[in-house]
Structure 1
Amino acid sequence: MKNKILYILLFFSGISFAQESLSELLKTYNSESIPYISAEDLSKQQNAIILDSRELSEYKTSHLQHAICVGYDNFKLKKTVKKLKNKQQTIVVYCSLGIRSEDIAEKLKKAGYTNVYNLYGGIFEWKNNNLPVYNSKEKETDSIHTFSKEWSKWLNKGTKVYD
């Protein structure tokens, strides 16, 4: 739902986020019902399950190592929980910036998962912190799918890829 709202907002209003910080942007779209984890802190995690809540084309372009693509538009909770046996295990959900991932993380929380986090700034902040991303062949890549040209301004490092 947030995905469609974002498209509508960007299309009809011509809103520019040029003066907005990432923190302000996330406060605009997120309820912060799911705690954030920073890219730096996630990079130190050993046993976290990482879920990518972007669409498959975004995931194929680039994703965090060992991330499981669960999607957003066609997210299936029943299919996802089959991969998540321990409801106390640390689970980190991410997307491009941390907006779609909050929705997916909220669904996991409602399903009884108790240790769920949203990656602050998503894959963009991950790459902006010089952390590695991988393509569909599991080879390190510099390419980052940026969801849209409007959102790409938040990616400061790497090669921006659009559909």
Structure 2
Amino acid sequence: MATGGSDKDTPITKEKETPSTADKDTPGTADKAPPSTVTENPGRGMRLVMSAMGSKFSSVKHISTSDLEQWLHTGNDDIVVLDCREPREYDVSHMAESIRVDWNRVDVNQLINSLLEREGPAKKKIVCYCSLGFRSGTVAKKIQDFITKKKEESPPLEVYSLYGSVFKWANEGRPLVDNSGQKTPFAHPHIFLICGLLNKAVRKW
């Protein structure tokens, strides 16, 4: 997909072409999981943050890392994944085919119209992620509020925030790509204050 232009011109930024609902941490169901060597055992600090984000954005649906990977693995083509982080974070790694948006100044109406234009009406599930869930929860709530307000006009959409976001995803060894589209285990720690929640082996500033 083509780049959507500068951040001021459009809420969507696709830097590079790269290739709910929950597991033990949040309730939900999905299709059978792909073969994996993923280890799901978040530490106490991570569990506390995840719980706090879940409570803060309680009106938003959350999808687990395992369920999202199952969705993506089955080639479910009605999913759009939004990366709600800064360009420097996205450049280190992101989920394949994810589209970067500016979480704090996204125009939801323009975003929805842009997604429908770019991805087509078949895209009915929107999954947002960031580092730990605050930015993705903020975007997901804006979209959810828009869907509720424009229920009669809006196409049938479901929006989710990824529970534990990219920190949990990377800690579990799930697939990421760098800005060249190459597989990478690394993720950007975002800020020093929270970098300890991302395993040292996968941190990359």
Unaligned residue ranges in structure 2 (runs of 5+): 1-42, 148-155
Q: CA deviation at 1:141?
A: 1.4
From the two aligned structures, give the one with the greater strand fraction.
Answer: 1
Instruction: Summarize the Cα distance change of 1:158–1:133 in structure 2 as closer, same or farther, 3 Å threshold.
Output: farther
Instruction: Summarize the Cα distance change of 1:87–1:107 in structure 2 as closer, same or farther, 3 Å threshold.
Output: farther
Aligned pairs for 1:2-13 within 5 A: none
1:72 partner amino acid = W
Does residue 139 of the first structure (1) align with residue 163 of the second (2)?
A: no
Aligned to 1:21, which of 41, 45, 56?
Answer: 45
Instruction: Summarize the Cα distance change of 1:49–1:158 in structure 2 as closer, same or farther, 3 Å threshold.
Output: farther
Q: CA deviation at 1:153?
A: 1.4
Mapped to 1, the partners of 2:65 and 2:125 lie a distance apart of: 15
Instruction: Summarize the Cα distance change of 1:124–1:83 in structure 2 as closer, same or farther, 3 Å threshold.
Output: same
Check conservation: 2:185, 2:202, Cα contact below 8 A: yes
Identity of aligned residues (%): 28
| Number of aligned positions between the proteins | 144
Aligned to 1:94, which of 120, 126, 129?
Answer: 129
Q: CA deviation at 1:107?
A: 1.0
Aligned pairs for 1:1-163 within 5 A: 21-29=45-53, 30-45=56-71, 46-47=76-77, 48-85=79-116, 86=121, 89-112=124-147, 114-156=157-199, 158-162=201-205
The more displaced of 116-125 and 78-87 is 78-87
Q: CA deviation at 1:98?
A: 1.1
Check conservation: 1:70, 1:76, Cα contact below 8 A: no
- What CA RMSD, in Å, does the superposition of the two structures yield over aligned residues? 2.2
Deviations 1:43-66 (A, max 9, x none): 011232100011111111110111
Match of 1:36, SS state, is strand
Check conservation: 1:26, 1:99, Cα contact below 8 A: no
**TM-score, with length taken from structure 2:** 0.63
Mapped to 1, the partners of 2:112 and 2:102 lie a distance apart of: 14
Q: Which has the larger radius of gyration?
A: 2
Mapped to 1, the partners of 2:144 and 2:196 lie a distance apart of: 31
Q: CA deviation at 1:75?
A: 2.5
Match of 2:115, SS state, is coil
1:108 partner amino acid = I
